[in-house]
């Protein structure tokens, strides 16, 4: 089942890039002097994901 694992890795990568895109949109709407807005964008869109458990 190597194809399944490759599909899963691609899906995970796509999800990470979607998070980065969302973060960039979010910070583009922040005032340059509003550090809390940028921090909030990072916390919402780039928060660390819990490691996946492999069974």
- The pLDDT tens digits for 2-41 are 567 777 777 788 888 999 999 999 999 999 999 999 999 9
- The pLDDT tens digits for 39-53 are 999 999 998 665 555
CA distance 32 to 52: 35
The rounded Cα 8 to chain-centroid distance in angstroms is 16
Report yes or no: 38 and 30 within 8 Å, Cβ to Cβ: yes
Residue 44 has a pLDDT of 95
């Amino acid at each position: 089942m190597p194809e399944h694992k490759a599909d899963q890795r691609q899906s995970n990568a796509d999800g990470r890039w979607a998070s980065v895109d969302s973060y960039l949109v979010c910070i583009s709407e922040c005032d340059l002097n509003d550090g809390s807005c940028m921090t909030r964008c990072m916390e919402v869109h780039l928060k660390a994901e819990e490691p996946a458990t492999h069974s």
